[in-house]
Amino acid sequence: MDKNFDEMQKNTANMGATTMRSFDVVTKGTQAIATEIADYSKRSFEHGAKAMENLLGVKSLDKAVEVQSEYVKAAVEGYVAHATKLGELYTNLAKEAFKPYEGVAAKTKPTE
């Protein structure tokens, strides 16, 4: 009986430590995602402001179309790069958040 209680206590302590490691990973991953979103937003705003400044300074319709086309192309490329980076961050977050539980899952497999 004491052996079972001690084992249960040990398992509970291990699970608590595992959960804390997972929370730490989730916190760091969430911070990285928030930083990436904030950085992208800042870059996007600055790029849009610069494009608007350039657009207001043009003297011909052809030049206006060129400035707008360059802006759209850069904006799309920036968004694709941002979406790719976010996808990687979310994937890494999921992998790393569940990594501490891999050992626990292996230990709790039912015996046949």
* Domain boundaries defined on the chain: 2-101
CB 71 within 8 A of CB 47: yes
Residue 22, pLDDT above cutoff 90: no
**What pLDDT score was predicted for residue 1?**
59
Top-confidence residue, 35 or 4: 35
**How many other CB atoms are there within 10 angstroms of residue 49's CB atom?**
10
Q: What distance lies between CA 44 and its chain's CA centroid?
A: 18
Q: Which of 78, 67, 17 has the alpha carbon at shortest distance from 44?
A: 78
The single residue listed with the structure tokens 């608007």 is 52
pTM above 0.85, yes or no: no
Tell me the pLDDT band of 103, cut-offs 50, 70 and 90.
Answer: confident
